[in-house]
Structure 1
Amino acid sequence: MIVLGLDTCLNACSVAVLQDGRALAHESEVMARGHQERLAPMAQRAMQAAGLGFDRLERIGVTVGPGSFTGLRVGLAFGKGLGAALGVPVIGVGTLEALGAEAEGLVFAAVDARRDQVYLQAFEAGRALMAPDVLPVETACARVAELAMGRSPTFVGSGGPLLAGVAPGARLVASEGADARIVARLAAGRDAAPPRPLYLRAPDARLPA
């Protein structure tokens, strides 16, 4: 199966092409904004590097959040539009799920959500121990301590430094965004279903009074 993986939810824009689980091309750029302008050219370059036309794609995987409201909508819109044009399924993958798959054992995918909050999800041996959630840092620390039970977990994502103090010996893995290769791999292994954005909280922007 040939899969295009996309991530635009956090502080990076990442694209990858996988064939039967093997990465043929991967490109990632760190950026706080500008995903909309960079995503299509990056996808085109990735397909060219893989030596494939877009008509060879059999599936598209895209992160659905949590993360930047604008960023996740950019990825979803591009993925859905491309999928509709090609007639291939578009599969949504949680941002925290993709981050959690970057490490083994007990893993906390944690993203700094600002406003003294953290997007958090825990995994062990690839199995989710909790649903993705947005929590005050203090509550997230208590959740980590409860699930870690004295063990030394791995934290993946920008929120790790905010939580690692409650788990002695914890390993920190910095990540500006999800790895599109992992997004593609996860998308290849699940049933097709329309992707839906996962926001977890209301947007920071407010309409003028």
Structure 2
Amino acid sequence: MRVLAIDTALANCAAAVLDDGSDSACFEAFGEEIGRGHAERLMDMIGEVMAETSTAFSDLDRVVVTIGPGSFTGLRVGLAVARGFGLVLGKPVVGITTLAAIARASAPRDGGAPLLVALTGKGDEVYCQEFDSSGEKTGEASVRTISDLAATMPKCIRLAGSAAERVASELDLPGEQIISRAGFPGIRDVAELGLLADPVTASPSPLYLRPPDATPQTRGRIERQ
């Protein structure tokens, strides 16, 4: 199966083509930590990975895209492009969470203590999810405060993600329990999860764990009678 993977959810902007076939295996990726400006860079990256792997869009079996947690603007860019390709090509589009992709890269796979992937949120909040040592989810993604995690997480928990250091400090955990401080997923992990995902359940819909900060403007509004 040959997939195009796209990640614009966080600070990174990345695209990759991955094929797991025995006779057609290939992997090519381009990525850059840019913070903002995903819309300006993404299509060039897609063109580069498609050219480097000699892949025509008709060769793709599916499109994979990160769905969050992440930046509202960044998510919209990746999802719009992925859905557009899926519609034009008539190919399935699958969504992968940033938390799951980071867990895939960080999981020790030693049968030991569980893993909490935690990404920096607003103020005292983190976007987080628990996984077992193999990287399989054992809880749902949520937004929680550092103090809440400190009160509920077991002392054996291992940590990954951009908020790992902060959570470890609050829980008074030793540094060796921090497996990764990654602030965004690796595009290969996104692509590999996309190969395994079920298009029926892995919807390319944004994962928003908290409401937007913006509120509808009311000043100057004319009430309808």
TM-score (norm 2): 0.84
| Aligned mates of 1:27, 1:140 — CA distance in 2 | 35
| Aligned mates of 1:23, 1:96 — CA distance in 2 | 25
Over residues 117-170 of structure 1, what are the superposed CA-to-partner deviations in whole Å (9 max), with x where a residue is unaligned? 000111112221210000011112334x33xxx4362x2221111112323231
Over residues 37-71 of structure 1, what are the superposed CA-to-partner deviations in whole Å (9 max), with x where a residue is unaligned? 11111111011111212221111111111111111
Comparing 18-27 and 63-72, the one that deviates more:
18-27
The equivalent of 1:199 in structure 2 is 208
- Considering fraction of residues, name the structure with more strand: 1
The equivalent of 1:115 in structure 2 is 123
Comparing 197-206 and 79-88, the one that deviates more:
197-206
Letter in 2 for 1:92: G
The equivalent of 1:49 in structure 2 is 52
The equivalent of 2:223 in structure 1 is none
| Aligned mates of 1:128, 1:200 — CA distance in 2 | 17
| Aligned mates of 2:66, 2:11 — CA distance in 1 | 13
The equivalent of 2:5 in structure 1 is 5
Aligned residues: percent identity?
Answer: 37
Pairwise CA distance, 1:172: 4.1
Query: In the alignment, is the contact (CA less than 8 A) between 2:163 and 2:181 conserved in 1?
Result: no
The equivalent of 2:64 in structure 1 is 61
Bigger-Rg structure (1/2) = 2
| Aligned mates of 2:7, 2:118 — CA distance in 1 | 16
Task: Say whether 1:188 aligns with 2:195.
Answer: yes
The equivalent of 1:174 in structure 2 is 181
From 82, 85, 88, the equivalent of 2:85 is 82
| Aligned mates of 1:152, 1:140 — CA distance in 2 | 11
Query: In the alignment, is the contact (CA less than 8 A) between 1:13 and 1:177 conserved in 2?
Result: no
Query: How many positions carry a matched residue from both structures?
Result: 204
Pairwise CA distance, 1:107: 2.3
The equivalent of 1:135 in structure 2 is 144
TM-score (norm 1): 0.90
Task: Say whether 1:162 aligns with 2:182.
Answer: no
| Aligned mates of 2:181, 2:52 — CA distance in 1 | 27
Query: In the alignment, is the contact (CA less than 8 A) between 1:118 and 1:140 conserved in 2?
Result: no
Letter in 2 for 1:109: V
Gaps of 5+ in 1: none
Comparing 88-97 and 164-173, the one that deviates more:
164-173
Query: Greater relative contact order (Cα 8 A, min sep 6): structure 1 or 2?
Result: 1
| Aligned mates of 1:203, 1:31 — CA distance in 2 | 23
Letter in 2 for 1:8: T
Question: Could you say what secondary structure the match of 2:106 adopts?
Answer: coil
The equivalent of 1:29 in structure 2 is 32
